[in-house]
Amino acid sequence: MSSAHVQLTFRKGYPVRRPSLFAALACAATLALSGGVAANASSTATTASAELTRYIVTLKPTAKSQVPTLATRQVEEHAGVLVGTYRYAFQGYTALLTPDQAARLGKVAGVASVEPDAKVTTFAQTVPTGIQRIFADQNPNLDIDGVDDVRVDVDAAVVDTGVDLTHPDLNVVASTNCTTGVCVAGGNDDNGHGSHVAGTIGAIDNAIGAVGVAPGARIHAVKVLDSTGSGTLSAIAAGIDWVVARASTIEVINMSLGCQGCTSSAISTAITNATNAGIVVVVAAGNSSLNASGFFPANHPDVVTVSAVSDFDGKPGGLAGTVTVPCRTDGATDTDDTLAWFSNFGTTVEVAAPGTCIYSTWMNGGYNTISGTSMASPHVAGAAAVLTSGANKPTNRTGALNVRSRLISTGNLNWTDDSTDGVKEPLLDVHDATQYPPGGGGGNQPPIASFTNTCDNTTRACTFDASASTDVDGTIASYAWNFGDGATGTGVTTSHTYAAFGTYTVTLTVTDNNGATAPTSKSITVGTPPSICTGYQQSFSGSLTSGQSVYQPSTSGYVTTASGTHRGCLDGPNGVDFDLYLQKYNSTLGTWQQVASAISTGPDETITYNGTAGTYRWRVHAYSGAGAYTGGYSRP
């Protein structure tokens, strides 16, 4: 939905001196009610006189199991709407509240902070020049030779616009969509930025496209930004919480996002707790050609902050004179082997990495060449992935910070820092096989799990086929299935019938002949959804196109002679954003006024409203998408 926010510019290609190809958090913005209510949470009536705004609430330390109960009670006591809860990266929740409600909630015992949510937007097989410049192709442990025979045994989370989940050059093993502030199934990239980041971290070393610093690393796609590169602080908080809940699996987080002059105690706590869990958090410094100390989370004490170097030939030494930037068409120039002119700098930065004209994977199975500290950061995240691979996984804060120290100590100074800040950060260098990975590589390579499925929505019977799973240095000995409803199975092919309509996360785990395992998960929707609009006095149906509205029972509405409860329900088609409003006629002003609304980002809405006698009508609105709908309402 529309909202009041600070809109920052996103440009594909080479960033200018304002935020571009780097996620900027517009933290000073006050976000009006803008959808994003979890699909499994009922939309609740709001009064026109007290508009609800998203807030992120951080609780004081409490048991993880108590968070949902505390959040529900606190929100109900303050007449707000609970969006989602967070238990792992920090204890807290997101809620819709009026400013007065938020102020009162902030004084409740057990509440550490209440801060307004805000909009975020992205600032935005050839061996890429960046891979060459950090000498990844010279490390025999990484075996970058165009043959998919070595994959780095590590898991990296890309907190971004999502990742192309089926890209042939990426090993995506898990995904989630946290754009509403609640993480649900999904995570496919509809922007491109996140897929580019993922490729620099771990594109597969094969005969196509690009190759990453940690070839074949298992990518966990955490979508916190939408197709325009826009999102919210609550989405980022939810995304980090999703990752920390999987700290036993994930070693590295890359966040190519940030904001100038702002902070978030919730996200700051989440980053600290991620580090405490042994996860290495890598962050882009920013693209404003300013000191990174004024940017968050680049200035967080636990992260690895990365600036960008312009390198055009993948070699040290610097080309003579100025160079026309090859990935731009406007004649822009820069100097080889220097700090990229857009890059932030300063003592907050730990490591520099190539960030100009970086070739990597893109959405829809494609490839693209773009620039930014967003592109420098995943070089370092990939190096951190190598350091934490296999048996080298950190499990606590000390281990995670030791990886940061190793990234700094193994860098080189063979570049020109022209930032004038007096501090020359080391340039990432992963050539040393004794350091990347420590103790050398080799050994048994884990298998690669992959499966397809077909389902009959009438019978809810599904078949699953894992024959596409492979093992580059052996054979697959077993296949274990978890169908997401408590049932399990075995075998390269199997079948399962679900008891009810729903979306289920199916996980396949394959084990090779040397005992190495690899999982992959996929969300499937099975069956035909039942109508949610049953038990109402009056029913209605129709069809809408995007931007169109219709009134029920008519534009004139209906008259109630007594106070009481109005209940409304809307059941829209999948994949659209339909909204429901209740309006009351003001005879004094001669106008209709909105008294309640249900405006989540999905197709289905419900409203319960207690009102006085008067004339009412329901408005059904297609915010985006088109199709047939049904619904119903009851009146006093």
Active site residues per annotation = 160, 193, 374
Do 551 and 619 touch, CB atoms closer than 8 A? yes
Q: Which amino acid is at 154?
A: V
The neighbour count for residue 395, using CB atoms within 10 Å, is 12
DSSP state of 348: T
Which residue(s) pair with 335 in the sheet? Answer: 322
Do 543 and 574 touch, CB atoms closer than 8 A? no
Do 346 and 423 touch, CB atoms closer than 8 A? yes
Do 220 and 175 touch, CB atoms closer than 8 A? yes
The neighbour count for residue 313, using CB atoms within 10 Å, is 14
SS3 304: strand
Q: Which amino acid is at 310?
A: S
For residue 122, the surrounding DSSP H or E stretch is none
Q: Which amino acid is at 523?
A: S
* The pair of three-digit structure tokens given for residue 279, joined into one six-digit string: 């996860």
Could you give the CA distance from residue 93 to residue 364 in angstroms, rounded to a whole number? 34
Could you give the CA distance from residue 95 to residue 83 in angstroms, rounded to a whole number? 5
Could you give the CA distance from residue 127 to residue 99 in angstroms, rounded to a whole number? 52
DSSP of 426-485: PBP----TTBTTBT---SPPP-B---EEEEETTTTEEEEE-TT-B-TTS-EEEEEEE-SS
Angle at CA 21, nearest 5°, toward 19 and 22?
A: 65
How long a stretch of residues is the chain? 636
* The pair of three-digit structure tokens given for residue 263, joined into one six-digit string: 């902070």
Q: Which of 285, 164, 161 is nearest to 230 (CA)?
A: 161
Could you give the CA distance from residue 51 to residue 97 in angstroms, rounded to a whole number? 8
Q: What residue ranges in 161-216 does DSSP mark as E strands?
A: 171-177
For residue 242, the surrounding DSSP H or E stretch is helix 233-244
Could you give the CA distance from residue 253 to residue 385 in angstroms, rounded to a whole number? 9
Locate all alpha helices (DSSP H) within 357-438, ordered by sequence. Answer: 373-387, 397-409
Could you give the CA distance from residue 107 to residue 480 in angstroms, rounded to a whole number? 50
* The pair of three-digit structure tokens given for residue 625, joined into one six-digit string: 């998408």
